[in-house]
Amino acid sequence: MSVMQDAPAALAEPVRPVPRSWVALLSAANLGLWMAFFTPVQVLLPGQISELGIEGKEAALGWVTALGALVAIVVNPLAGLYSDRTRLRLGGRSYGRRHVWTLAGALIAALSLLALAGQRHLAGVALGWAGAQLGLNIMLATLTAAVPDRVPVGQRGMVSGWIGMPQALGLVLGAVLVTAVVTGVAAGYLMMALVLLLLAVPFVLLTPDDPLPAGPARPRPRTGLWRVLREHPDFGWAWGTRFLVQLGNALGTLYLLYFLTDRLRLADPDTGLLIMILLYTAGMVATAVLGGRLSDRSGRRKIFVVWSGVVIAVAALLLAIWPTWPVALVASVLLGAGYGVYLAVDTALITQVLPAAVDRAKDLGVINIATAAPQVLGPAIAAPLVTHLGGYSTLYALTAVVTLLGAVLVVRIRAVP
C-alpha cells in the first residue's frame, strides 16, 4: 500500500491504537447497517413477495435482490470516491470527509425502508429495495474506510472481527425483532428504519473525522475496475478471493427459507430459519474476534482465510449430501464459524493491499463490488439450479466448490504473509 510521508491526519497511516469506545460505536453503526440489509433479504422481502400472491416467488425474490445489488455495484465505489475528496466547511469550521456521507446514507436507507412498508406491487418492492441499497451502500463505503483511516495494522484483525460480527448479529436481532417483537411485514420495515438511525447516528456525532487539508482539487482518477485490478496484482487477487467467497455465500443463503419449506418440509420453516440463524451467529461470534486476534499476533493472514474457506465448504457439502434438519443445524454452526474467521481476517488483509491512502474509500468500494456483484449473479445461477438442474443438492455442492476456490486464491497475494 502506498503511504504518504508527512501526510496530514486524514491521509496518514494510523499508528495509535483506537480506543474500545470507538470500536463499540463503529460496531453499533455496522450493526444497524446489517440489520437493515439482512433482515429484509432473509425475512421481510420473501414474506412480502409471498403475500403478493404472484407465481414464481423464487425468481421474483431473485430479481428484486439482484436489482438492489446492481445499485450497490454502482453506488459503493462512487460514494467512496466522492467521500475521499469531500471538503466540507460550515461556519468557518472544517468537517471530515466521511461522516456526512454516513449520515446521508442512513437517512436515505431509512426513508426507503419506510416506503417499502407500504408497497403492494412487485415493481414498488423492487424500487424500494433499490433505494434502500442506495443508502446502505453509501454508508458501507464510508464505514468500511474507517478501519484503514484510523486503525493501525497490528490492530486490524481484532477490530475487523468486532465490526464483522454485526453481519451475523444483525440478522439474528433483526429476525427476532420482526418475528417476536413486531408482527407483519410493514411493522418490520418500520422497526428496521428506526433501529438503523438509532445505531448509526451516534458514530457520526461522537467520533472524530479528520478533514482533508486545504489545497487544489485533485483530478478525478481513472477508476475502471479492471484497470485498478491489473495495475495492483495483490489488490486484484484480494478482490478475486472476496468475490468467489461472497458468491458462495450468496448461493448458500438466498433460498434458505424456501429450502426449509420445500426441501426439508418443516412444519414451521420461519422458526426453523430463526434457529439456523441463531446457530450461525453463535459460530460466528465464537470465532470472529478470536480469529482476528490470532491473525494479528501471528502477523499471518492467508492461512486463516484458506482454512475458513475449507470449513465453509464442508458445511455446504453437508447440506448437499445429507439434507436433513439435524444436519442443517450442524452446518449452520460450521458456516458461522468459518465465515467469522474469514470476514475478520480477509477484511484486515484487504486494508493492507490498498493501492493508495488518498483513495481508501474508493478502493474499498471496488472491493465492495466483489461483495455486491454476487448478489446479482447468485440469483441468476441459483434459480435455474433449484428449479431445473438438480435442486438444492446441486446448489449447495456448487456453493462448496466456489467458496473453496475463492479461499485458495488468497495464496497468490505476495505482500501479506
**What phi and psi, each to the nearest 5 degrees, are found at residue 93?**
-115, 140
Q: What is residue 297's predicted lDDT score, i.e. its pLDDT?
A: 93
Q: What is residue 34's predicted lDDT score, i.e. its pLDDT?
A: 94
Local confidence pLDDT in tens for the 417 residues of the chain: 444 445 677 788 899 999 999 999 999 999 999 999 989 988 899 999 989 988 888 789 888 988 998 899 899 999 999 999 988 877 657 678 899 999 999 999 999 999 999 999 999 999 999 999 999 999 999 999 999 999 999 999 999 999 988 987 887 899 889 988 998 999 999 999 999 999 999 999 999 998 887 764 454 554 556 666 777 899 999 999 999 999 998 888 878 888 999 899 998 998 898 899 889 889 998 999 999 999 999 999 999 999 999 999 999 999 999 999 999 999 999 999 999 999 899 999 999 999 888 889 989 988 988 887 887 788 788 888 888 888 899 999 999 999 999 999 999 999 998
Q: What is residue 221's predicted lDDT score, i.e. its pLDDT?
A: 52
**What phi and psi, each to the nearest 5 degrees, are found at residue 95?**
-115, 160
Q: Is residue 417 part of a domain?
A: no
Tell me the CA distances in angstroms from 390 to 115, 161, 264, 394, 396, one per residue in order.
38, 36, 15, 5, 10
Residues 6+ apart with CB under 8 A from 288: 161, 162, 164, 165, 340, 341, 343, 344
Q: Is residue 328 part of a domain?
A: yes
Measured distance CA(373)–CA(126) in Å, rounded:
17
Q: Is residue 1 part of a domain?
A: no
The model carries a pTM of 0.84
Centroid of chain to Cα 178: 20
Q: What is residue 6's predicted lDDT score, i.e. its pLDDT?
A: 57
Helices 57-84 & 122-150, crossing angle to 10 degrees?
Answer: 40
Measured distance CA(303)–CA(323) in Å, rounded:
30
Cell matching residue 141:
463505503
Angle at 370 between CA 142 and CA 312, to 5 degrees: 110
Q: What is residue 225's predicted lDDT score, i.e. its pLDDT?
A: 60
* SS3 label, residue 2: strand
Residues 6+ apart with CB under 8 A from 124: none
222 close to 77: Cβ distance less than 8 angstroms: no
Q: Is residue 4 part of a domain?
A: no
Handedness of CA 366, 354, 241, 341 (dihedral sign): negative
Cell matching residue 395:
446448489
Q: Is residue 10 part of a domain?
A: no
Q: Is residue 2 part of a domain?
A: no
Question: Which structural domain range is residue 73 located in?
Answer: 20-211+223-412
Q: Which of 226, 248, 249 is nearest to 239 (CA)?
A: 226
> Residue 89 class from Cβ within 10 Å (0-12 exposed, 13-18 middle, 19+ buried)?
exposed
What is the signed CA dihedral for 290, 296, 300, 301, rounded to 10 degrees? 60
Cell matching residue 28:
453499533
Tell me the CA distances in angstroms from 230 to 30, 163, 248, 349, one per residue in order.
31, 29, 24, 18
At position 370, the amino acid (one-letter code) is A
Q: What is residue 183's predicted lDDT score, i.e. its pLDDT?
A: 86
Domain at 122, CATH number: 1.20.1250.20
400 close to 248: Cβ distance less than 8 angstroms: yes
Q: What is residue 16's predicted lDDT score, i.e. its pLDDT?
A: 93
Q: What is residue 4's predicted lDDT score, i.e. its pLDDT?
A: 47
DSSP 79-118: HHHHHHT--EEETTEEE-SSHHHHHHHHHHHHHHHHHHTT
Q: What is residue 69's predicted lDDT score, i.e. its pLDDT?
A: 85
Q: Is residue 370 part of a domain?
A: yes
**What phi and psi, each to the nearest 5 degrees, are found at residue 356?**
-155, 140
At position 44, the amino acid (one-letter code) is L
The CB density around residue 68, as the number of other CB atoms within 10 Å, is 28
Q: Is residue 372 part of a domain?
A: yes
308 close to 345: Cβ distance less than 8 angstroms: yes
Helices 57-84 & 360-387, crossing angle to 10 degrees?
Answer: 170
Domain count, the chain: 1
Measured distance CA(272)–CA(371) in Å, rounded:
27
> Residue 311 class from Cβ within 10 Å (0-12 exposed, 13-18 middle, 19+ buried)?
buried
Size of the chain, expressed as the number of residues it contains: 417
Q: What is residue 125's predicted lDDT score, i.e. its pLDDT?
A: 96
